[in-house]
């Protein structure tokens, strides 16, 4: 069995779920975790952030429920309103980091979200992934090369396709996959204890 975490780097609820995922990974070090990017802001949804009027209210709710941090630099982006979230670019960045350190994918996904939601950095810029890579002790040049490689676009498209194949339409979603059996462990929000209870139920089923 493995866990499959489907998230979007520009999804506030995914940012809020980072602490739960980190705890689950720590509790189950031998359980493989596959990280897949969703396509929340693609096509016609790539518009200035001001067009999503619910963002600040949603973030306040996420912070209250999960304890997630939303930094001052990010808040300035929201206040300005002109920033465009592009999930395809973010998925390329996640794919580049995942390719460089596949065993650290959950940790790196959370670091990418921290770069946006706390540090206010664009996930379309190579410099953001350089900063994430350097902070994680990775070969930053290799990460940037992977981000800029056309293969990253294919990887992003494959992620979006895989999420759809799994029937995931909301982020974040945490699944348990055992052969052809796919079980939802969490969607949107859950505590590590709640996820563990569902995992335990699977083990005894």
Instruction: Tell me 166's DSSP state.
Output: T
**Residue 178: which of 20, 4, 45 has the closest Cα?**
4
The reported pLDDT for the residue numbered 31 is 95
Q: What is the pLDDT of residues 76-92, one digit of tens each?
A: 999 999 999 999 999 99
**Residue 67: which of 17, 128, 106 has the closest Cα?**
17
- pTM for the model stands at 0.96
How high is the mean pLDDT in each 10-residue block of the chain (205 residues)?
Answer: 97 97 96 96 94 86 96 94 97 98 97 98 98 98 97 97 94 96 95 96 85
The reported pLDDT for the residue numbered 91 is 98
The reported pLDDT for the residue numbered 110 is 98
């Amino acid at each position: 069995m493995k866990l499959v975490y489907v998230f979007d780097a520009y999804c506030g609820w995914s940012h809020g779920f980072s602490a739960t995922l980190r705890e689950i990974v720590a509790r189950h070090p031998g359980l493989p975790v596959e990280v897949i990017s969703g396509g929340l802001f693609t096509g016609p949804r790539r518009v200035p952030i001001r067009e999503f009027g619910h963002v600040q209210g949603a973030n306040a709710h996420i912070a209250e429920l999960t304890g997630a941090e939303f930094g001052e630099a990010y808040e300035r982006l929201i206040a300005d309103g002109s920033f465009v979230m592009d999930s395809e670019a973010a998925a390329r960045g996640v794919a580049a980091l995942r390719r460089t350190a596949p065993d650290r994918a959950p940790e790196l996904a959370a670091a990418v979200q921290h770069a946006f939601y706390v540090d206010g950095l664009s996930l379309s810029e190579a410099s953001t992934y350089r900063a994430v890579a350097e902070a994680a002790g990775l070969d930053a040049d290799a990460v940037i090369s992977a981000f800029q490689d056309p293969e990253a676009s294919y990887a992003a498209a494959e992620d979006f396709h895989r999420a759809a194949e799994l029937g995931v339409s909301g982020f974040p979603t945490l699944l348990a996959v055992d052969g052809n059996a796919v079980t939802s462990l969490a969607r949107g929000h859950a505590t590590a204890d709640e996820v563990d209870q569902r995992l335990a139920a699977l083990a005894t089923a």
